[in-house]
Every structure is written in C-alpha cells, then in structure tokens.
Structure 1
Amino acid sequence: MKSERRSIKKRLYISLSVVIIITVVSAISFFILSTINYRDKVISEYIKEKSSKAINHFSDKAILIENNIQLLTKWGQNGLIHLDDTSKIDLVFIPLIEDVKDIYAITLFEESGNEYEIKKENEAYLGRFYNEGKQDTDKAFRWKQMDKTGKEIGNWKGSIDYKPSKKDWFNNIQEDSLNLNWNKPYFSKSLNQRVISISSSWKSNDHVYYIVIHVLLKDVFGFFDIIELQQNEYAFLLSPEGDVYDFQGSKNAELSNQLSNNILVTPYYKNKIPEIAQAVNIWLDENKNTENSLPFRIDNTFYWLKFEYLNKDKKEYVLGIVVSESSFSVKIGESRFQSLLLSLLFVFAGVIAALFFILRYNRILRQIPKPGINNNNFERDIIRFSKSAESKTLEFKSTIRFNLRTEKNDKVIEQAWLKSVAAFLNTEGGVLLIGINDDGNYHGIEKDNFANLDKAGLHIKNLISKFIGLEYMKFVNIHSGTLDDKSIIALVCKQSSKPAYINIENDELFYIRIGPSSTKLSISQAVEHISNHGYKQLS
C-alpha cells in the first residue's frame, strides 16, 4: 500500500511538474512573443504610414507632371510645337507653368542643338532661344521677358558659355517618345537649388525634338514635413546604388548647404548623421531589401529601418525611413502590460489544471487503504481495506487453519498465509486480513475454533516464529477485533531489513509479492532480488 500510494504520489508530482513547466514556459513564451509581435506590428504600421504618405505625395506630383509632358509630346507629334515660332510655344508653356506650380522651367530643343527654354522669374517669365548655328556670335542667344499672358515686355541678345548638350540631364535623354525619363537631379547655380527633370522626345519632319520639364527637387520629393518626423527619426532619398540625395531648402538643408554636387554619398553622413550612414550600409548589405523592417543598433539606441521604392515600376528612387524604438516605448509598455495580464491568465489556467490533478489524485488516494490498523478504529479500518481489491500490499484469507473444503484443520492453510507474510516482509510490506474471503466479504475465524482472539493471535505469532523466525516479529503487528459479529485478525507487515525465508519441511523458500499474489523465487532469482533490493542488513 505504501508502494502504491508512493507511486500515485510520484505520478501526481510528475503531473504537477509537467503542468508547472508547461504553464511557466507557455506564459513566458507568450509574453515574449506577443510583445515582440506587437512591437514589430506597431513599428511596421508606423513606418508604413509615413512611407505611404511620402509615396502618395510623390505619386501625385509625378503623375501630374508625367501627364503634362505626355500632352506636350502629343502636341509636338502633331506639329503644334516647334522652334520656328517661339510665340506659339509661349502660349503653351506659360499657362502650363502657371497652372502646375511645381514646374520651374520647360525646355524644347532639337537634335541640331537649337533650344528654347521658358522659366518663371518672380512674377514674370524669361524665354531664352539658343541658335546652335550662331554659337560663336553675339546672336547665339536671344532673351525676352514676358508677363503671364505671354506678352513680351523686353528682349535682348548676347553670348554665354552654354550648350544644352553639356547639361547633366541631356545625357539621360533617350530617343523614345513612349518612354518618359526621370533624369538624375542636378544643381542649379542660378537657383542654388537641386533640380530634377523629366524628358520625352518625338520625331517630326525628320527632326528629333526633346521636351524637358524641370522641377525643384524639394517640390517633388518634399514630403518630409508631410510625414511629420519626430525626434530621432530620419527620412532620406537615395538611389538604388546607395547615393543619398541632398535637399537644399528642405528639412535636410542643414546637411550640406556648402555642397555644389547633386548627391551626398554615404561617407559624408558618417560624421553628420550616423543613423543614415548605417541605414545605407544595411541597404547595400541586405541586397536592397524592401520587404521587411530591419533593426539595427547604434551605441545603446535601437532603431528600425524600412525602404520603399517611390516609383516601383522603374525603381529609380528609394525612400529610407529610420525611427528610434524609444518612440514606441509607451505603446510597447502598454502591450507588455496586456501581455502580462494574458500571461497571468496562462498561470491561472495552470493553477486550475494543477488543482484538477490534485483533486483527481486525492480521490484515488482516498480509495487506497492507508497502511496500518488503528485499534481504536479497527472496524472502520477493516471496512476500508475490505472495499479494496487484493494487491501487492493487500491480501485476504478466510481462515487461519481451517480448510473450508475439507472442513478440517489443515497445515496447507497455515502455510498459505505464512507465505504471504514472508512475501510482504521481502517486498514492500502489506496487510493480511484473516477472516475475509477473496471477494471482501466478512467470513470470520470462528471455524478455526480458538477460545478467543488472544489465543488466535498467539497461535499466529508462534507459527511466524517457527516457520519464518522470531526476529521477524518486530516487523509484524497483530490486530484483532469483530465486525458484524465476525472475528477478524489483521497482520500489518513492514518491509524487513533482511531477507525472510519460510522453512517448510526443512526447505527454505523465498517469496516476494508480484501483484496480488505471493511468488516463490528460485535460488538465482532470490540472490538477484536480495542484491537489488537494498537490504540494510544481510544474514
């Protein structure tokens, strides 16, 4: 019984350990994963919101300008725009520049080198015609100043060191009227601004004409105010090759007011803005990854980075956004609190599961007879044992010496329960109830015909001393009493500290309990059992 209770308690401890481990691991895993997932979600959504504003801003600007240059291209293909009559060009270009505020200038030239350009200056317009055939004379350039209606209010001639073919945007133009080209930004000395151009071309009367619309870089890509950058947040524009564009006149103006080239390359930022330098290095190292938000660390500050192509079809311009994780400390803290609450629910569920196992095993334990008999509660203990089935630690015998079949006293009956006593001593102890049959019914020992229970107990003691040994009586307690007017004897056996043999007809036999029966072992089996059983004393 001790063994069975011990086994059940062991299973209980194992079950509780498993529940505790699963609960703790689940709670910790959930807390960590939910916090990380929420953090990633919040940061991704935050960066996505900013990048979407920038992309939408660029798309709106770009689509408007592209639609207008496509319109000018169609007019040119239909012979409505040519260099023979600049006054007609004025009537087309000036209203367009007035209507689309982002357009700074429009240039029309042909492959021969002749060019006409209109740009806005304050409230007036300046038209410049360049004649390639007169480039070395003072008639190579003609200027005229006009009002918003295209009316000329002044003109002059002169010569300057200028050719369209020397301009930065000229080399990017292709002879393909169906292909619009956003050209690399260039620096306008007259404006002290970065300028970007879009170009198109067409053929008319065996001549190739080019149309170019010039826009201030900050107007097309001026989304820094729109996306509302906070402290420790950066937005920048770079080429697929990793060159970072400067925006003079925008939020990034302080980066390089002194530079005259059109781009800022990564090394410049290393001393100015290391966050952008690190971001560009990641762009190049991660094979231009635009799919995921990427983390990086500078000193003790964690940052998150996301790249997006502004024009995904051509992939010419890349938007980079860098945000500090500290910007989300409040939201992440709220998420951690929520995750902690849910983790506590996991723990609570684990406690409920643990209580379930405790109650379940307690019910099982209550059904197992407790070892030992209390003389003051003899009747209660006998009833409790009799309701249990025979087991490794419990056995029933109907009589001490009377054979119910032959209706005579029989040594075989005595030897049967003596074998059980020896087996209990050699295993884990147990309880032998005499006067109860195999079904747990109270039979009593009246047919053994002892004068009283004391005489019966003395007879049992003498038999144990004779066949097993007097020294083993210290491991056996004899209890007796009546139940339903039936006399019952209970032998409570403890595990012996040394092997117990039963001597029958000068033959020493060794028994152990295996399940609900007493089993005799061979000599070799007995030796192995004794060596493995851990007796405190061998004799």
Structure 2
Amino acid sequence: MNRQGLLIAIVLGFAVGIIIIQPLGISLFQYDQSGDTGNWWYLFKNAVGQALGFGDVDQILKNILFGIMGSSLALMFYTRKTIFQLNREKVGITLIRELLDKGENHEVEFKSTLRWDLRQGKVNKALEMVVAKTIAGFMNTEGGHLIIGVDDEGRILGLEQDYGTLKKPGKDGFEQYIMQLVSFNLGTHFCPLAKVTFYQFEEKDICYVRVYKSQKPVYLNLGDRSHFFIRTGNGTRELDMPEALDYMETHLN
C-alpha cells in the first residue's frame, strides 16, 4: 500500500470532515428543527464559518471529532480498492497454481519465453509467432489459458530475459508487446479477447493471458497468406482450407 497516498487520503478526509461533513450535518439538523422552513444555504454557510473559526474549545473538539470521521471514511474508501485488488490477486494466484499443477492440455499452454531463445541466447522472432499461433488456436476453439515464463513442466522461469529485449522493459512493455503481436498478426479487433495479467511466484514474474473464444474465424498472417489454427489436445494444429471451412461451419458463427 502506498504510504504517501494513504497519508494524503487521511489529511484530505480530515479536512472534508471539518468543512463539509460537519456543516452539512449541523445545517440539516437546524433546518429540520425549524420545521423545514427558512434558508438552508444560509445555515450551511454559517456552519462552515463556525467550523473554520476555531472560536472555542467546544468547536475545536467538534472539529477533531468530525475530522476523524472524515479521515475514517477516506481511509475506508482508499483501502477498499486495495483490498479488492489483493483479493483478486489471491484468486488469480490460486488459479495459476491449479493450472500449473494440472499441466498443459487443450485449454492450457506453457511458454518459457515470449521472444528470448534460451538455447541460442538471443531474440528469436519465430518464438513470437508460436505465441501468436497459440492465441489464435485458443480463439478458434474454446478459449484457453496461456502462461509465459514457465517451462513445459510448469517450473517457474520468470520474464527477466524477455524484459531485457524490450524497448520498454517491465510489465507494461511486455503487455504492450503482446497486444501489438495480436494486433499486427491476428487483427486489432481481436485484442479484447486477450486479457493480460502478471503474477509473481518465487520472486519471479510470470505472464498470464486469458484468451476468450472468438465468434469469428481468426487467421494468423504469415508472409503472403493467412493460416487457420485450432487447439487439439495439448497442441495447436493448422487446418488446410477444406478442414478450416468445415470447422468454421460447425464451430463458429
């Protein structure tokens, strides 16, 4: 949790409690006591003036009380998002562990890297096409889970070597590169079907791509022609034209 952001939220909440919550509560009470007659806005402005005046000990104590109330509300609002993110991350980590334990299948694929060739020790563009092929295969079948940064056995390798090959190293650059890969090779309109998330295991980042099924055929553009892939077993297979047409008629709208 960001300490600076937390401190700012507490201070702002304290101020809001004094100059907004307190005058609002007091003016509404006074307006109700008068039988809902008179000028509420005048009562509110008068209450604001009293709150800012710090005229006596009672007023100072009321300011402290409402300031604490405002800080508490701000703290609740600030931590709500953080707690939600932590819970979502916990659920995500549990899912990843389950996928790693089950191993590769028709809905799960592991990739050691996105573009760094571990054997050759350099960038290999062919590896990017393998990832694009896998994503296309998932989209043309029932969707699936692509995890980058683990070997075929589900052992954690991390993304550090891939990070070092990017113009913008780190998670943001990695995600942008994957989305560019989908956009350039499959089509920009298919990008919403690939959701990228990062998790940390053994102090190493891994990339989880949740791929959703497409209602339209997805082609991988390679060279001067388009290729149609589907997911079969724990692999991705290309269909020739007659097979692809038959498959589309049966499985895609």
**What TM-score do you get using the length of structure 1 for normalisation?**
0.30
Q: 1:414 aligns with which of 128, 132, 142?
A: 128
Give 2:153's aligned amino acid: D
Matched, 1:516 2:234: yes
Alignment of 1:166-205 (within 5 A): none
Matched, 1:439 2:153: yes
1:474 equivalent in structure 2: 192
Q: Distance in 2 between matches of 1:456 and 1:521?
A: 30
1:73 equivalent in structure 2: none
Contact in 1 for aligned 2:216/2:252 (Cα 8 Å): no
1:453 equivalent in structure 2: 171
Contact in 2 for aligned 1:477/1:491 (Cα 8 Å): yes
SS at match of 1:459: helix
Task: Note the C-alpha offset of 1:376.
Answer: 4.5
SS at match of 1:463: helix
Matched, 1:402 2:116: yes
Task: Note the C-alpha offset of 1:441.
Answer: 0.3
Contact in 2 for aligned 1:375/1:479 (Cα 8 Å): no
Q: Distance in 2 between matches of 1:417 and 1:428?
A: 17
Q: Distance in 1 between matches of 2:117 and 2:219?
A: 24
Q: Distance in 1 between matches of 2:187 and 2:156?
A: 30
Query: Where in structure 1 are there 5+ consecutive unaligned residues?
Result: 1-373
Q: Distance in 2 between matches of 1:534 and 1:481?
A: 32
Q: Distance in 1 between matches of 2:178 and 2:192?
A: 14
Q: 2:98 aligns with which of 361, 379, 384?
A: 384
1:207-249 alpha-carbon deviations (Å, 9 max, x no partner): xxxxxxxxxxxxxxxxxxxxxxxxxxxxxxxxxxxxxxxxxxx
Higher relative contact order (CA 8 A, sep 6+): 2
Q: Distance in 1 between matches of 2:186 and 2:242?
A: 20
1:488 equivalent in structure 2: 206
Q: Distance in 1 between matches of 2:153 and 2:145?
A: 16
Instruction: State the aligned residue count.
Output: 162
SS at match of 1:444: coil
Task: Note the C-alpha offset of 1:485.
Answer: 1.2
SS at match of 1:526: helix
Task: Note the C-alpha offset of 1:534.
Answer: 3.5
Distance 1:470 1:376, change over 3 A: farther
Give 2:173's aligned amino acid: K
Task: Note the C-alpha offset of 1:402.
Answer: 0.3
Q: 2:219 aligns with which of 501, 514, 518?
A: 501
Q: Distance in 2 between matches of 1:445 and 1:529?
A: 36
Percent identity of paired positions between Structure 1 and Structure 2: 30
Give 2:211's aligned amino acid: C
Higher strand share: 1
Task: Note the C-alpha offset of 1:505.
Answer: 1.4
SS at match of 1:437: coil
Contact in 1 for aligned 2:140/2:230 (Cα 8 Å): yes
- The structure whose Rg is larger is 1
1:393 equivalent in structure 2: 107
SS at match of 1:406: coil
Give 1:420's aligned amino acid: T
Q: Distance in 2 between matches of 1:534 and 1:422?
A: 13
Task: Note the C-alpha offset of 1:462.
Answer: 0.6
Q: Distance in 2 between matches of 1:452 and 1:473?
A: 20
Q: Distance in 1 between matches of 2:157 and 2:104?
A: 16
1:243-266 alpha-carbon deviations (Å, 9 max, x no partner): xxxxxxxxxxxxxxxxxxxxxxxx
SS at match of 2:102: coil
SS at match of 1:387: helix
Q: Distance in 1 between matches of 2:97 and 2:237?
A: 27
Contact in 2 for aligned 1:397/1:437 (Cα 8 Å): yes
Distance 1:375 1:507, change over 3 A: farther
**What TM-score do you get using the length of structure 2 for normalisation?**
0.62
1:532 equivalent in structure 2: 250
Alignment of 1:142-161 (within 5 A): none
1:14-69 alpha-carbon deviations (Å, 9 max, x no partner): xxxxxxxxxxxxxxxxxxxxxxxxxxxxxxxxxxxxxxxxxxxxxxxxxxxxxxxx
Contact in 2 for aligned 1:453/1:481 (Cα 8 Å): no
Query: Where in structure 2 are there 5+ consecutive unaligned residues?
Result: 1-87
Give 1:443's aligned amino acid: L
Contact in 2 for aligned 1:467/1:503 (Cα 8 Å): yes
Task: Note the C-alpha offset of 1:454.
Answer: 1.2
Contact in 1 for aligned 2:117/2:124 (Cα 8 Å): yes
Q: Distance in 2 between matches of 1:377 and 1:445?
A: 21
Task: Note the C-alpha offset of 1:482.
Answer: 1.4
Task: Note the C-alpha offset of 1:375.
Answer: 3.5
Q: Distance in 1 between matches of 2:94 and 2:161?
A: 24
